[in-house]
Structure 1
Amino acid sequence: MALHHPELAERVREQRRLLPDLYGSIEFDSTPHRFTTDPEVKSDLPAWIADRDSVLADERVVELIRTTTMLGDVVADPYAALAKQYGAKGLIDMLRKACRSGVDSVPDAPDELRAFIASMEATPDWVDVELVEEGARQLRIGAAFLSPYITRGAFLATFINTYAALPMALTGALTGRRASRRVNETANFFAVTTLPGALGRYGEGFQAAAMVRLMHSMVRCNALTSPEGWDPEVYGVPVPQVDQMPAGLFNMYLAAVLAKSAGRDEFSSRERAMLEFSRYRCFLLGLPEELLPTTASEIIEVFHARAATLRRGFDDATCGELVRSTMGADLRQGNSLLDQLSETVERSWSRAFFLGICGGDLKRAEAMSVQFGPVDAACVAATAPFVLGRFVAMVIAAEQPALRRLADDYTTRAVKQRLAEYGNADYTTDATAYPRRPTRSTT
């Protein structure tokens, strides 16, 4: 029985009642193999990041991570399960129409769609809409001038653990030509949500969040109903909420680390606005409030607890292939000399970012199929004054009353230009195109 998060544990058990055909065989009270607190078993928390024993000593946060390892999406999953009746395209079309024109505009809208939309419309009391917009203004700068150079590298970080990466491997969405589409869709999502008013009820970001949730739920449903079978005793629930938290709050984890290094636990007004935006965006994506802390210490705590309880595992057939396919993908649509140069610069920055995630360990990064060489170092050094200089200059300009409006207009145009480069995001998954399941690794 959950001692610290009983309501969250009940939500986990509710999945069996809502979708017995999907979740009926899963023992939610058991602990999957991927989750471990055994001090003799290696986890994904590097010793240079934090002391694992200290992290595991906090029973409350350990329970939180274990519980959300078994949590899918209690409102989007039932809607995704209607694919047998409506088809994937039918579900997508109805969801888009409901987002753009309201659920009542959908003829004979199923109850599952109404519940899905209603859950996203139920804005929590803690959300400060004005602060969300201010956070979007701040994060637009990074989306316009920094994210295009590091998104691929950040994407790679989600593939360094077999247990967390397997759902993506099952879809085949990150192999071959589809790899570039998924990377660009991810970049598109994080960029479009920062546009002015995007997270409003009828904004582009609201719809994008709904589409991402549906895509995750369809992957979840397809994995659990796969003829080859998903092994919940090993992997828990496919695409669990605990695995979505790092992507949604990674920017705030970095901000939290910097704040703590400066002796602060409370965020500055600028950081607080970015946190409000990030937490609300995570809410729209279906994450429970328990995974959305409000202080620097708490954010660091949940990140470290997830890593400390995630069994280490890097299966080259799964993780290595995802990394290689993603690094080899051409993200730009054109073939001009400028496109090729931009691709080269972006790859070097992504390798540098990934190397940072590896703590600067060149051998570890290389073992995971990311080679950061002298050419990459020279490329990053040569372009850093432009990339970082422009980003910092825009951050400063955005804080000057006389320049704020001009700076934000320029940044907004830059984000829209980035969106055009990324291309239209479909946020779909096709179960008929899934490859055969790779060999599972439980070591």
Structure 2
Amino acid sequence: MSLSIEQVRARVASQKTLLPALYGNMDFDATPERFTEDASKAVVRDRAPLGVSVSQDDLDRVRAYTMLGDIVADAYAALIPKYGFRRLIDMLTTACEQGVEAVVEAPPELLAFIADMEATPDWVDMDLVREGARLDLNATAHLAPFAIRGAFVATFLNKYSALPMALTGTLSNDTAARRVNETATFFATTVLPGALERHGAGFKAAAMVRLMHSMVRFNAIRSGRWDVSVYGVPIPQVDQMPAGLIPVFLMAFKILRQGRRHFTAEERARVELARYRCFLLGLPQDLLADTPEGVVRIMTARNTTLRQGFDDETCGALVRATLAAYLPPDRSPANRLHDRIERRFAKAFFLRHFMNGDQAAAARMGVEVGAGDRLVFAAVALGVIARMMAFRAADKAPGLRDVANAVLVRRVRKLLARYGHAEYVTDAAQYRPTRAAA
């Protein structure tokens, strides 16, 4: 069951006593500048989209989760001074692949971290998760390679939520390319058969992402360059929610526009996959709704309380670095051609799905979308839709389903080889000061 708002606030406050070295000086009763009750100053102003009204309880939860990090993963990351970040990664890798008993003198913080991920809550239906992963193979194989950059850019539209990425030095083209490919790797890995089982590759990838987020928190807060009164906790739960639920959020909005109020069986399976991935990343049930109205309501509560702010020094630099990044593994003629096509598609995809087609607003953020980009987007979209429809048809045919699934699995594995090995690390030496500190 979801926690009461009093229980959520108590959990937030517990960070101060459980992790005093990290959160001991934070005032969790203070409201950071990034949070606003005035929707006219927020990223989104409509608190009742498509007739789905946000309640005061929703706003209170978002306010609380704006100040919540990840207690068990943060405690493990706080061991960096003792073990070094490479040793923490090695121990976590061993624990994921072989079990914590295989880690020599495993620290109690690692035991708690793994136990938290193993404690699958009763609100998760693992059969639905597996079906959702199978169904998502199609989009991962065909759409994701073209859409991932555009979706990644969408996370940089607000200076309050984008700052952790800027602070960690993710402003160069090479670093941006690595982060995009790591994100693509995580989502692609989690749809492979068995990947989200206890010793699967998806479980390990989630643990690595979770540790990386905690390393960012640890290094940002300990750097003395993080202004809590302005930005709150680095990478709070409410900022991880959009990244984990973007496809579900877009789907929920589409469903409500169609006049429906319930997910179909296939849609529900995809939602359950997203919810379980988010659980592995440390998100609470409160932020992981399982109905179209619930998904839209909690995301709207977050977006109508996140203060609007596009800082070119932070957001603009991240957008430009991501758009300029060369993602393929080499510069062969085929990969250079793919890069040009994918880059054009990504810009148009971003404009269509995250800027509501407002070209002027996109241009102000550094995303110029021309006629050529729109033409490439249309051509690629037609090809992607045709391939996805063909595989959907094969999925409905008993004699073809297994063959189609096998083909999709091979394609996703090929994509993973193309994305390269994901490091999921953050180097404190690259951290940049915030504008306030500077």
TM-score (norm: length of structure 2):
0.96
5 Å matches for 1:106-185? 106-185=103-182
Shift of 1:46: 5.5
5 Å matches for 1:289-304? 289-304=285-300
The one-letter amino acid of 2:235's match is V
**Is 1:246 the counterpart of 2:246 in the alignment?**
no
Q: Distance in 2 between matches of 1:411 and 1:440?
A: 48
The secondary structure found in structure 1 opposite 2:173 is coil
Q: Distance in 2 between matches of 1:372 and 1:235?
A: 31
Q: Distance in 2 between matches of 1:254 and 1:179?
A: 25
Q: Distance in 1 between matches of 2:35 and 2:268?
A: 32
Of 308, 319, 322, the residue aligned with 2:304 is 308
The one-letter amino acid of 1:412's match is V
Q: Distance in 1 between matches of 2:434 and 2:69?
A: 22
State the match for 1:276 in structure 2: 272
Shift of 1:210: 0.2
Q: Distance in 1 between matches of 2:261 and 2:214?
A: 35
Return 54-63 or 386-395, whichever deviates more.
Answer: 54-63
**Is 1:85 the counterpart of 2:82 in the alignment?**
yes
Shift of 1:128: 1.7
Q: Distance in 2 between matches of 1:42 and 1:405?
A: 51
The unaligned stretches of length 5 or more in structure 1 are none
Of 402, 405, 410, the residue aligned with 1:405 is 402
CA offsets 1:57-89 (integer angstroms, 9 cap, x no match) = 610110111111001001000000000000000
State the match for 1:96 in structure 2: 93
Q: Distance in 2 between matches of 1:222 and 1:147?
A: 31
Return 57-66 or 148-157, whichever deviates more.
Answer: 57-66
The secondary structure found in structure 1 opposite 2:304 is helix
Return 198-207 or 387-396, whichever deviates more.
Answer: 387-396
8 Å Cα contact 1:37/1:56 also seen in 2:
no
Shift of 1:174: 3.9
CA offsets 1:94-152 (integer angstroms, 9 cap, x no match) = 00000000001100000000000000011111222211110000111111110110100
The unaligned stretches of length 5 or more in structure 2 are none
State the match for 1:265 in structure 2: 261
**Is 1:21 the counterpart of 2:16 in the alignment?**
no
8 Å Cα contact 2:35/2:305 also seen in 1:
yes
Shift of 1:396: 2.8
Q: Distance in 2 between matches of 1:197 and 1:428?
A: 25
Shift of 1:395: 2.4
CA offsets 1:368-415 (integer angstroms, 9 cap, x no match) = 000100111121223232122112222232233222111111110110
The one-letter amino acid of 1:281's match is R
Runs (4+) of structure 1 exceeding 6 A deviation are none
5 Å matches for 1:6-85? 6-39=6-39, 41-45=40-44, 51=48, 58-85=55-82
State the match for 1:336 in structure 2: 332
Shift of 1:56: 7.8
8 Å Cα contact 2:48/2:54 also seen in 1:
no
The one-letter amino acid of 2:344's match is S
The one-letter amino acid of 2:241's match is M
Identity level (%): 51
Return 187-196 or 170-179, whichever deviates more.
Answer: 170-179
The one-letter amino acid of 1:251's match is P
CA offsets 1:23-78 (integer angstroms, 9 cap, x no match) = 01111111111000125x5211155xx658x8886101101111110010010000
8 Å Cα contact 1:146/1:387 also seen in 2:
yes
Return 290-299 or 378-387, whichever deviates more.
Answer: 378-387
Shift of 1:288: 0.5
Shift of 1:328: 0.2
Of 358, 362, 382, the residue aligned with 2:359 is 362
